[in-house]
Amino acid sequence: MQNRDVQERSEADWELGDLVNRVSRIAGAVLGTTALTVALAACGGDSLEQGKEKGSGSAGLPGAGSLVVGAAAFTEAKVLAELYAQVLRDAGYSVSITTVKNRELYEPALEKGEIDVIPEYAATIAEFLNVKVNGPKAPEEKPVASGDAAATVEALRKLAAPRGLKVLAFGEAVDQNAFAVTKEFAEKNKLKTLSDLGRAKLKVKIAAGDECAVRPFCAPGLKKTYGIDVAGIDPKGVGTPQAKQAVKDGVDQLVLTTTTDATIDSYGLVFLEDDKDLQNADNVLPVVNAKDAGAPEIAAALDKITKALTTADLAELNRKVDAERAKPEDVAKEYLTAKGLLNK
């Protein structure tokens, strides 16, 4: 994932680790109908209603109508949206993609049926809906997300169904916070997991955003869950070139990035396994408008991607777009063809 997009994803979506900041942002998502429609049109280009036959996706007849797939404004979301759109077209649907800046805009549009399908991250959308349903303090006082993907998705479905949303199956691919060290540091100290790092009793400085000092899934969580001795935070950002270079140069020992960061190998870095599930389960899954896109044929088409896609696959797709400047639609088609997921 290109560093610009790592930061966008991290700042927009790993807000699970910063409940106060996230809640303040989510509070701003309670928008009026008119404001939402205008904002969506501005972010997505064409109006979401253009060319859409409402309810057409619910008949269960491929080719019977059109669907709108939403994409957030970062590389990975655009790639996932292309994967979804192309398998749905292959199944006989007329599909358009609209890019919407963030979840605070696209989730209400999904509820209203202005968007039919959206690629999501289980833990993040679960806590987002937890706030909407149970209030701003809910994620802190009664969180629904955890490191258990199945339990997180079960809780998500309970929150989503009354809002007219259907949560489809989750797969192996996951985009969540991850920590990396140099290969040499790992080999020298026999490190494969974050538990290993805690047992090694080594002082580490973390290259991350300055908020890492207070976020429960960063420095405080590393100390509490793994007993890692965090000596300080080097505020170079989440997954930025500067952050990874600082670890490569030995200025820092640990870098915060994401599991789909495809550039760590070029810096000589390796991930340490989050073996005690400190991070919430942000497995990739489709969420659909139940009325307009709840047909089993739609679920079956999207499930082909869910079953095939791995975290490594997603990282490589991101890399091709960001490093090689390939188009999301092209890398999606190449991937689907290689996996034999297209019939036409």
Q: What is the pLDDT of residues 132-164, one digit of tens each?
A: 999 999 998 999 999 999 999 999 999 999 999
> Checking phi first, is residue 237 left (phi over 0); if not, alpha (psi -120 to 50) or beta?
left
Give the pLDDT score at 31.
Answer: 35
The pLDDT of residue 60 is above 90? no
As a whole number, mean pLDDT of residues 200-219 equals 95
Provide the pLDDT confidence category of residue 30 given band limits of 50, 70 and 90.
very low
The answer to pTM > 0.75 is yes
Give the pLDDT score at 39.
Answer: 40
**Domains of the chain and any CATH numbers:** 3-174+281-338 (3.40.190.10), 177-272 (3.40.190.120)
Residue 45 burial (CB count, 10 A)? 13
| Strand boundaries in the chain, DSSP class E | 66-71, 94-99, 117-121, 165-167, 177-182, 203-208, 229-235, 254-258, 269-272, 284-289
Q: Tell me if 307 sits within 8 A of 227, measured CB to CB.
A: no
Q: What is the pLDDT of residues 168-192, one digit of tens each?
A: 999 999 999 999 999 999 999 999 9
Q: What is the pLDDT of residues 104-137, one digit of tens each?
A: 999 999 999 999 999 999 999 999 999 999 999 9
Q: What is the pLDDT of residues 242-300, one digit of tens each?
A: 999 999 999 999 999 999 998 999 999 999 999 999 999 999 999 999 999 999 999 99
Please give the Cα distance from 245 to 254 (Å, whole number). 11
Q: What is the pLDDT of residues 70-106, one digit of tens each?
A: 999 999 999 999 999 999 999 999 999 999 988 999 9
Residue 182 burial (CB count, 10 A)? 21
Give the pLDDT score at 45.
Answer: 38
Q: What angle do CA 20, 148, 164 make, to 5 degrees?
A: 70
The pLDDT of residue 8 is above 60? no
- H or E segment and range at residue 89: helix 75-90
